[in-house]
Amino acid sequence: MILDILLLSPYSKMFYLAEYFACRVYNLHIKIIKHIQVSNKQYKFRANLHKYHDAFNVEDYFMIHIRLERCPLKTKHKLQISSARPFKVLLMI
């Protein structure tokens, strides 16, 4: 194969080498994309292991905790009194 390249004209040799280089770069990009996809799947799996998904059914009861940073000033105290009891799930959307 190397002998065939040496026997080619200079222009054909440059074209062949450029095409060879382009194919190698393309194949390298395909490998990198596959590696990134596998890495992302592994990361997503590991990250989702620690998540807790709340699954409420109709007629279940749950408690609400209102954080201070979600409310304007002086409203947390008023809302805290009304949210001190469990609430019932009426409808699943």
Per-residue confidence (pLDDT) for residue 78, from 0 to 100: 56
pTM of the model: 0.45
How far is 81 from 61, CA to CA, in rounded Å?
A: 18
Per-residue confidence (pLDDT) for residue 58, from 0 to 100: 84
54-89 residue pLDDT tens: 777 888 887 776 666 666 666 555 555 555 677 788
5-57 residue pLDDT tens: 555 666 666 777 888 899 999 999 999 999 999 999 999 999 888 877 777 78
Residue 62: phi, psi to the nearest 5? Answer: -150, 160
- Residues with Cβ within 8 Å of 29's Cβ and at least 6 positions away in sequence, in order, are none
Per-residue confidence (pLDDT) for residue 9, from 0 to 100: 66
